[in-house]
Structure 1
Amino acid sequence: MRWALILVASLALCGTALAAWTEQDHEIFRLNDELEKHEGKGTTFYSFLGLDNGPSSSLEEITKAYRKMSRQMHPDKNPSAGATDRFARLGVIANILRGEQKERYDFFLQKGFPRWKGTGYYYARFRPGLSAVLVFIFLITGAAHYLILSMTAATERKRIERYISECKAQAWPNGYPPADNSKRRIQDQSGRTFVVYPDGTVWLADSATNEEYILDPDDIEPASWRRTVLYKFPVWLFESSFGKFVSVKNETSLPVKKPRAKTKSKTKAKKGEEGQEKTAEMELNKKVLSDGKVVEAATVTGGRRRRRK
């Protein structure tokens, strides 16, 4: 749950930062990168135009410098490769410095251009392939799956706790067990029967099987990364491919041992130990009520819930 919240918060921060850059900002970033790539590291819009005053240059100075540089960089006078792109870049830079975007460029020039790779600016420079997109979707799906498991477990636990409190309130109106320490059978609005015992446990009675299943919030399986697709899918993929060969190899590499013949005395001793363990287990599962009635408890197949016969 904690990691899912951290992931959601990180995505929200990235989305906020992405919304902070406008299309004009992206254009300034792109031109700045191209300028440093072709003209040299540290080249600015002002130095490219030959303006020594930098951001303090006036509109008249910028226009005059642009006209001078356009005559020098015109493709007709410079038939070299890349002259057309360099001349076009000059015109775009001059328009930025002579327009409203000049203030924005001066801000980034003073504060620094973004160096981190978390916005559309990064996407413009590096377009992720299909594999990167699939990995990202897989991670997001796993985090969402974990969040859903956490919410489901919390909801189910609250539901069981609510059933227990409602049944006890109905069975014990004064808030205390009955004086004779007897159990109370009640029914909810849907017709299900619950049994409240003096020890405070609440059991769901099944009329079809004549069994009672305990309501215990601790039986709710908590959320775990091992239950998400982040863990199950790689395990399934491994078992479906390489896992088959690994299991076969392990089985064939193990030496086959013949079982030893047991003596009659050891077999009897073993049976005696098993009988003692079984008796101890039955005693642990027995519950003696105040009226002298003995109730046995066993584990329900496929779950942690217990039942009473």
Structure 2
Amino acid sequence: MFGYPMKQSFLIATFIIGICVPAVYCFTASEIEIFQLQKELEKKYGADIDFYKFLKLPKLAHSSSREITKNLRKLSKKYHPDKNKKYKKLYQRLNLATQFLANDELRKNYDYYLKNGFPDYDFSKGGFFFTRVQPKTWFIMSFIYLIAGFIHYVLLTLQSKSNKRRTEDFIKQCKAQDDTNSLGEKRLFFKQHEEDEGKELLVKFGDVYIVESDGSQTLISTDTIKDPTIFDSLLFRLPLWFWNKSLGRFVKFPSRTINNNASDSSNDKRLGSLAKEEKAEAVPRSITTTKTVSSKSGQEKKILPNGKVIYSRKKD
């Protein structure tokens, strides 16, 4: 049977998935600072807060970088910690938000997350993460699995064609050494290398056979090479392999041989009953003799097989 062994299939799947799986997205240090500040503001002022509202910008998101910087000077007159120490934490947040929005690149990143959503934070998961990306991850993995299965099927098809092509070339080489013009038998000896024990070949009437050690002959033909189907690819073989290695070892499906045995026994019974009937019918047919009984009146009385009684004529 031609086809990739299971280990080779796993190696191919790992290679394909390794190529197709995109790199894990990591947040930059600046983005993490933005997320942390946004999370602190939401915790203190509510989910609707953003940097523009927090800085009390008149034009909000339409403010220019110069206007944002100028706005901080205005807020410093009231919230600078030198004037009031209780605003120390607030002023730090105002200053940090101004730095993010005054920088065009950082502001662009902030506007992106403000529009599409900020990630959640979980220390056990390593920090910030997107919960809404999880369904898409399953979709991407499914897509990659389908692509890997399709590529594996293409590789199996190419391998099958290659095997057929090599077999055809080998058959042609053997026929080229047949001096009987496909009208007789020609014995050949084939060795792949010097250390190989070799195989005896027989070209008989245009067909090439391998002569086995027991004397039997095996036909060499491209018809014996199985064309791969989609069921031979990773799409089906990989789940089947996992099933056989896990639950398949404990779950046993009912065998059809039981039904076959039952049907065979019922057929035997039916044939046996028919044989008995034929035998029963054959017995009376084979016994066709009649019984002759002498009568007191001089007539001969005969009892037929069906039970009917007849008498012969009286003798004068």
TM-score of the two chains, using structure 2 as the length reference: 0.48
